[in-house]
Amino acid sequence: MFISESCWYLFHPFICASTMCAKTEQDSQAIARVIAGDFDAFEELVERYQGRIFRHLRKMVGDNQVAEDLLQETFLAAYRGLKGFAGASSFSTWLFRIATNAALMFLRKNRPESIEYDDEIRTRTDLPFFPAPIEFCSTPLDILLSDEGRRKIEEAIDDLPVLYRSVMVLRDVEGFSLEEVSKIMDSSVAAVKSRLHRARNSVRETLAAYYMEKDLASNRRITKSK
């Protein structure tokens, strides 16, 4: 059942370790070629990451055009700073850090209220999370992964404050480790864990309420038809 804590793997991309290692090696080779003056190699990096970076930026700022502008800014900054890339982290972590900084700078300048360390999510999620009733837990997986289910998941994530939303997307959608997320967000691992826990609980509560209400409405219709 998706709502259980053990099933957040459904958010994770199915990328095996060997594939990740291959991409890291490809990145290293492309970076060496760029530094040697091969601009086409940088185009390879852009092609490899632009979809993921755009998705991350759009989740942060909620606007396609702004995300496009920040995407261009991210890759321009990456190109200019590539010679200084020390390889202490993976290229993807470094690139996502640049994109995140660009998005946060935009939000601080244009929507400062959106990146306050919101407390409203804490009032709901600091309390222990009680398991949903058995009727809800028996919701078939194909319903949760249907177009409607995916849409409700997206809506629940989009309703989170930006700092919580970003941590959840980086960990549960992009598949970064907690340590990598902490580097991308420039936060401690403890802070990342705390925001991730609250974000997951908030999304889980939203989904539980939606499907329970939907089930109740269905039962009422069945009762009336009898």
pLDDT in 10s for each residue of the chain, 226 residues: 333 333 443 444 444 444 455 578 899 999 999 999 999 999 999 999 999 999 999 999 999 999 999 999 999 999 999 988 878 889 999 999 999 999 999 999 998 887 765 444 544 444 454 454 444 455 555 555 667 778 888 899 999 999 999 999 999 989 999 999 999 999 999 999 999 999 999 888 888 887 777 665 555 555 565 5
Contact assessment for residue 132 and residue 144, using Cβ atoms and an 8 Å cutoff: no
- Indicate whether 8 belongs to any domain: no
Least Cα distance to 70 among 36, 47, 98 occurs for 98
Residue 88 CA, distance from chain mean position: 23
Residue 20 CA, distance from chain mean position: 18
Greatest distance between any 2 Cα atoms in the chain: 76
Range of the structural domain that residue 168 is part of: 116-225
- Indicate whether 188 belongs to any domain: yes
- Indicate whether 92 belongs to any domain: yes
Residue 15 CA, distance from chain mean position: 16
pTM, whole model, 2 decimals? 0.77
- Quick one: 182 and 123 in the same domain? yes
Query: How many structural domains does the chain have?
Result: 2
Of 113, 140, 167, the residue that ends a domain is 113
- Quick one: 124 and 177 in the same domain? yes
- Quick one: 107 and 123 in the same domain? no
Which ranges of the chain does DSSP label H, i.e. alpha helix?
17-35, 39-61, 64-81, 91-110, 120-125, 134-137, 141-144, 147-158, 162-168, 178-185, 189-225
What pLDDT score does 130 carry?
Answer: 46
Cα–Cα distance for residue pair 146/163, rounded to 1 Å: 27
- Quick one: 21 and 82 in the same domain? yes
Tokens found for residue 161: 């404050």
- Quick one: 216 and 169 in the same domain? yes
